[in-house]
Amino acid sequence: MKTLRFLKLTSTLQRRRDALVPLASSVQTAKAGGGLPPFFSALVFFASASALPGAVIYSGTVNIPIPGDFDGIYVDLDTGATSSTPITGWDLNPTFGGLEIYNNETFQPVRSGTGNLDAIVNLAFGAPVNAGIPSFSSGFGLSDSHTGGGTTQFQPGSPGYLGFKFSDNVDNGPFYGWLKITVNVTGGVIEAWAYDNTGAALPVGTTVPEPSTYAALAGLAVLGLAALRRRGKGPNHASFPPLRRGALRDC
């Protein structure tokens, strides 16, 4: 069986590489208006793109079945597309109900070591997934020893979380996130996944960036406001109507 697994990993590399056809991308150029200095315009754009809920891409509950066979299911996290055969942009390919998990070179799960055959780790809820994790590997990989009774292993029939970093179909990234999965020899399930498309850390099982992300954005906003005031274009007390007594109590 070990020989068969390695044959699958090596014999399909070229076929899977061919499936990674770069997708066409479009770039929109926005011009700042209203007399704002370019520095502040850039800050406004960055802050709005990072702080809005859209910065965290969440699949919702998808419950994608993982067949208990050798082909398994190919999943593209960008589009949510799935197939029993390789598809353009596929990221991971769990087989045998999730007892084996193949990964594309664009998708790297958190492992017990840096080798691309080391076991994928079952992470605790709330654990941070970020660039500081030392146990990412590179290239195509396979994990077939991640199930069992160990504290960092996946228990058959019980949901667990794998952390990952990946680049999307147009090579943006790396982005960090998590994927909730239940492995079972009779058929597993990919329940959901999420990642932060700004490259920030994302705690396992959540769809909210780490507080440090918001703190950084708040600091940028303060700098931008200071820049406006220095240029004489910032708001001043004369721009606002007087606050009537008791107004705060009305909110």
Q: Which among 232, 222, 239 has a CA at the least distance from the CA of 35?
A: 232
* pLDDT for the residue numbered 52: 41
- Which element (helix H / strand E) includes 44? helix 38-51
Q: Which residue has the higher pLDDT, 249 or 132?
A: 132
Summarize pLDDT for 17-60 with one digit per residue, the tens: 444 333 333 334 333 444 444 433 333 333 333 334 448 999 99
Q: CB pairs under 8 A, 24+ apart, for 209-212?
A: 209/50, 209/55, 209/56, 210/128
Q: Which among 33, 111, 82, 88 has a CA at the least distance from the CA of 193?
A: 82
Laid out side by side, the sheet with 92-95 consists of 82-83, 74-75, 92-95, 100-103, 141-143
Summarize pLDDT for 194-205 with one digit per residue, the tens: 999 999 999 999
Summarize pLDDT for 219-229 with one digit per residue, the tens: 444 455 455 45
Domain boundaries, the chain: 58-203
Separation CA 193–CA 80 (nearest Å): 10
pTM strictly above 0.95: no
Separation CA 193–CA 123 (nearest Å): 13
